[in-house]
Amino acid sequence: MAQTATQNQQTTGINVEFDVELRKVFKVFNGEIVVRGIDLSIRRGEFFSILGPSGCGKTTTLRLIAGFETPTAGDVLIRGQSMLNVPPYRRPANTVFQNYALFSHLTVWENVAFGLRIKKRGKAEVQERVKEALKLVKMEGFAKRFPAQLSGGQQQRVALARALVNRPTVVLLDEPLGALDLKLRKEMQVELSNLHQELGVTFVLVTHDQEEALSLSDRIAVMVDGKVEQMGSPSQIYDRPQTPFVADFIGDTNLFRGRIEGAHPTMLWVITDKGLKMKVQPANDTNGLPLTSGAVVVSVRPEKVNVGFSPPDGSLNCFEGRLKHVMYLGTHVHYVVQLLSGDQITVRQPNALNVPTGDTPVYLHWGADDCLALPE
Amino acid sequence: MQAPSKSPLRISWQALFSVLMFGFMYLPILVLGFYSFNQSPNSAQWGGFTLSWYVKFFNDSRILSALSDSLTVAFCAVGISAIIGTLMAVGLARYRFPGKQLYQGASYLPLIIPDIAIAVSTLVFLAVIAVPLSLWTIVAAHTVFCLSYVAFVVSTRLVNLNPHLEEAAQDLGATPYQSLVRVLLPELMPAIVSGCLLAFVLSMDDFLIASFTAGGGATTLPMEIFSRIRTSVKPDINALSVVLMVASGAVALIAETIRYRSEKKRLQ
C-alpha cells in the first residue's frame, strides 16, 4: 500500500478499505508538470476534499479519477481495480461539474434519467429511481422544466441528482458551489453534508474555499504546485499545519521567520529575524523527524494571542507593542498590533465591552502550545 | 434648451431617412410584384388585375424542370453539407491536431472568395480531371460553399456550448458515439437546421456557379430565368420572381424562428 509521510496516523496498521487510490500519479500537459507524484487513499464512505489555490492541479487530479485525463505516470484505482485502461463511461464514478453541464435540450427528469437510460434499465426502475433522486434533492416539482428555466441553485441540485441516481462508488464534485452566492452556498453545504451522511457514498470534493473544506470534510488534502502539501482531518490541518504554506492558506495566521537556538524533546527556542525570542512546541520536518536546528517559520493563530494592557507576570512569549487598528466585527474584534521589534501581528479576541482605541500600549502573550515551528 | 429627443424636427428627419432607405431597397421589388399581376403583356402599362401569369408559369414544363433541377441540386448539396459541415465544425472545435489553424482558415475561405472565382476554378478543375459536366457537377460545386455556411453557423453555436457536455454524457455511461448522437447533435440541432436553411436559400439563388458547372441539359431556375430575360422581361418571369422571393423569405423566416425559439428555451 502506498503510504505517505503525511498519512493520517490512526489508519496505519488498520485494514481499511479504500474506494479511490492514486499511486505516484504524474500528469504532464505540453511539457508542464501539473500533477507531481500524488499519493492518495480515500476511504469508503469518506467525505474527502482536495483544497488548494487555483492552478494547483486539484481539478486535474479529479479529472484523473473521473477518467477524462490519463496519468502520464502512476496508477489510479477505484475499489482496488486499476482504472488505467478503463474509459470514463465504464468507471463507477459520477461527476458534478463546475458549471453543472446539464443537457439543455432535455428536461430535468430526462437529465436525471440519462445515465439509467444509457445503461438500458427497465422503465419502471428508471421511473422509480429518478423520482427518488429528485426527491432527495427536493426537486420533485421541477421534473418537466428545462434547465434554462431553473436558478443556479436548482441547476446544482439537478446536477447532484443526475450523479447520485446512478449509485456510483464515488461522487466527484468539481467546485460545485463556486457559482452560487454566499447564502445559497451555505445552504447547499449543509445539504451536501446531509446527503453524504444519508447515502454513505464516498464524496471527493475539489474546492479553493478553505472554510467549505474545513466544515464538510472528514479529511482534506492541501495541494500546491501539483503536490499534496499535507493531508489530514480538518483539525489536524488547521491546528497542526506542517508547512508555512498550509498554515497561511488555511485560516489566518501570523508568521515569523527565525532560527532554532535551542532544542529540547519537549520544546524549542526560536530567535526570529527581528530578534524576538520565543518558546515553541516542537515540530517535525518534512521527513517526520524532530526539528533540532536551522531556519524555521513560527506560526501563531490570531485567536491564540492574548492581549493585556499591563505587563503580565511571566515574560514567556510576551511582547510589548502599540495598537494600530481595531476592527469591530460584531462577534469578535480584530486588533492589529505593531510590536516594538517592528513586526505586525493580527489578534482576534471575542467581543469585549470596552474596546481600546489606537496607539494604546499593549502586551501580547501566548503559550508555547499555541504556536508552531514549521520547517522553512 | 429642449431635450434633443423631444424635438419633432429630428424625429421627422430620421423618419424621412428611413422611408427613403426602405424605398430604395424595396421599391423595385414592389414594382416587380405589382406588374406580376398586370394583365397587359407589355410591362409599361397597366391592363387590369390577373393571376394568369402565375398559372402560365406553373404550366410551363421548362420552368418546372428547371425548378426540379434546382431543388435536386439544393437538397443534395445541403444534405451532404449538413453531415460534413457539422462534423467539420465539431472536429475543429473539439480536437487538437497539427495544422488545425490552417484547416480552420481554409474551411471558411469559400465565404470570402468571389463566386466567379469558385465557378471558374471548379470548371478548370473538372476539365483537368476530365469529369463531364452534369447536374452532379453543380451539386459538387454548391457543396463547396454550402459546407462553409453550415460549418460556420454550427461552430458559432459550439463556441457558446458548455465544453463539458460530452464529458458529462460519458461520465453517465455514454460511449463517445452515444454522447455525440444523444447529447451533442441534439444540442446543435437548431444551429444545423438554420445553417442548412441558409445554405438551401443560397444554393437556390446561385446563378454564376451553376451556369459554369452545369452540363448534360441541366438547367437551374436562375439559369432559366436569366436565359429568358436576355430577350425581354415577360410578366410570367415577374410572377416567378415573386414566388421565389416569397419562398426564400419563408425559408429564412423558418430558420430564424427555429433559432430564436431554441435560444429562448435555453436562456429563459
Last residue of a domain, one of A239, A267, A288: A239
Pair A68, A109 in one domain: yes
Distance from CA of B267 to the nearest CA of A (A): 6
pLDDT tier at A6 (50, 70, 90 boundaries)?
very low
pLDDT band, very low/low/confident/very high, at A15 (cuts 50, 70, 90): very low
Question: Contact A95/B168, CB-based, under 8 Å?
Answer: yes
CB contact under 8 A, A103 and B178: no
Global pTM value: 0.79
Do A79 and A206 lie in one domain? The reply is yes
**A94 & A207 share domain:** yes
Residue A304 lies in a domain: yes
Tell me what percent of the residues of chain B surpass a pLDDT of 70. 93
User: What pLDDT sits at residue A107?
Assistant: 92
Do residues A221 and A158 share a domain? yes
For residue B147, count other CB atoms closer than 10 A to its CB: 25
CA distances from residue A125 to A119, A199, A284, B19, B111 in whole angstroms, order as listed: 12, 19, 55, 64, 51
Q: Tell me, what's the pLDDT at B266? A: 62
Mean pLDDT of A59-63: 94
pLDDT at A3: 42
Residue A142 gets which letter from DSSP?
G
pLDDT in tens, A109-136: 999 999 999 999 999 999 999 999 999 9
Residue B123 and residue B213 in contact, taking contact as beta carbons nearer than 8 Å = yes
**Into which CATH architecture does domain B56-267 fall?**
Orthogonal Bundle (1.10)
Nearest chain A CA: its distance from B164 CA (Å): 6
User: B168, A146: Cβ pair inside 8 Å?
Assistant: no
Name the pLDDT band for B184 (thresholds 50, 70, 90): very high
Q: Is the ipTM, as predicted for this complex, more than 0.85?
A: no
Whether residues A229 and A264 share a domain: the answer is no
The answer, yes or no, to whether residue B80 has pLDDT greater than 90, is: yes
Of A215, A239, A263, the domain-final residue:
A239
B96 — pLDDT class (breaks 50, 70, 90): confident
Checking if the pLDDT of A25 tops 90, the result is yes
In chain A, the residue whose alpha carbon lies closest to the alpha carbon of B187 is A105
**Is the pLDDT at A14 greater than 50, yes or no?**
no
CATH number, domain with residue A274? 2.40.50.140
Residue A299: φ, ψ to 5°: -110, 130
Q: CB distance B162–A101 less than 8 Å? A: yes
C-alpha cell at A191: 445539504
The CATH number assigned to the domain holding A140 equals: 3.40.50.300
Asked whether residue A214 falls in the same domain as residue A340, the answer is no
- Count other Cβ atoms within 10 Å, centred on residue B149: 24
As for how many domains chain A has, the answer is 2
Q: Which of A158-172, A345-359, B208-222 has the lowest mean pLDDT?
A: A345-359
Q: What is the mean pLDDT of residues A314-342?
A: 85
CB atoms within 10 A of CB A166: 23
Whether B170 and A88 lie within 8 Å, measured CB to CB: yes
Kindly state the helix (H) or strand (E) to which residue A130 belongs, with its residue range. Answer: helix A123-136
- Is a pLDDT exceeding 80 seen at residue A265? no
What is the model's pLDDT at position B10? 60
pLDDT at B43: 63
Tell whether the model's pLDDT for residue A361 goes beyond 50: yes
The range of the structural domain enclosing residue A152 comes to: 9-239
Cell 463556441 -> residue: B159
**Smallest Cα distance from A57 to chain B, Å:** 18
Domain membership of residue A132 (yes or no) is yes
Where does the pLDDT of residue A264 fall: very low under 50, low under 70, confident under 90, or very high at 90 and above? confident
Contacts with B193 from chain A: Cβ below 8 Å: none
* pLDDT tier for residue A286 given thresholds of 50, 70 and 90: low
**pLDDT higher than 90, residue A152:** no
Is A2 contained in some domain? no
Chain A interface disruption, residue of B172, B187, B262, most A CBs within 10 A? B172
Instruction: Answer yes or no: do A117 and A266 share one domain.
Output: no
- Best mutation target among A105, A107, A111 (most B Cβ atoms within 10 Å) is A105
CA dist list (Å): A17 to A20, A38, A79, A197: 9, 19, 8, 18
Residue ending a domain, among A209, A239, A269, is A239
Residue A108, pLDDT score = 95
Place of cell 489508519: A11
User: What is the rounded average pLDDT of the residues B72-93?
Assistant: 94
Of A88, A99, A106, the CB nearest to B171: A88
Supply the pLDDT for residue A327.
84
Same domain, A356 and A278: yes
CB atoms within 10 A of CB B65: 15
Give the chain A residue nearest B190 (alpha carbons). Answer: A105
Section A142-167 average pLDDT? 92
Cα distances (angstroms) measured from residue A366 to each of A265, A292, A337, B12: 20, 22, 14, 80
Q: Are residues A20 and A110 in the same domain?
A: yes
pLDDT in tens, A183-233: 888 888 999 999 999 999 999 999 998 889 999 999 999 999 999 999 999
Inter-chain CB proximity A149 and B164 less than 8 Å? no
Mean pLDDT computed over B90-94: 88
Given a cut of 60, whether residue A355 has pLDDT beyond it is yes
Q: Judge if A274 and A153 occupy the same domain.
A: no
In the prediction, which pLDDT does B69 show?
Answer: 92
A88: in domain: yes
A293 to A34, A263, A286: CA distances (angstroms): 33, 7, 14
With CB atoms and an 8 Å threshold, state whether A101 touches B164. yes
Q: What is the pLDDT of residue A16?
A: 57
Phi, psi at residue B195, to the nearest 5°? -65, -40
Nearest to A285 by CA among A243, A231, A228, A254: A243
Q: Does residue A215 sit in the same domain as residue A290? A: no
Report whether pLDDT(B76) > 90. yes
Name the interface residues of B facing A (CB cutoff 8 Å): 162, 164-165, 167-175, 178, 182-183, 186-187, 189, 265-268
Residues of A in Cβ contact (< 8 Å) with B182: 114, 118
Clarify whether residues A160 and A23 are in a common domain: yes
- Residues B106-163: tens digit of each pLDDT: 888 888 899 899 999 999 999 999 989 999 999 999 999 999 999 999 998 898 888 8
> How many CB pairs below 8 A link A and B?
71
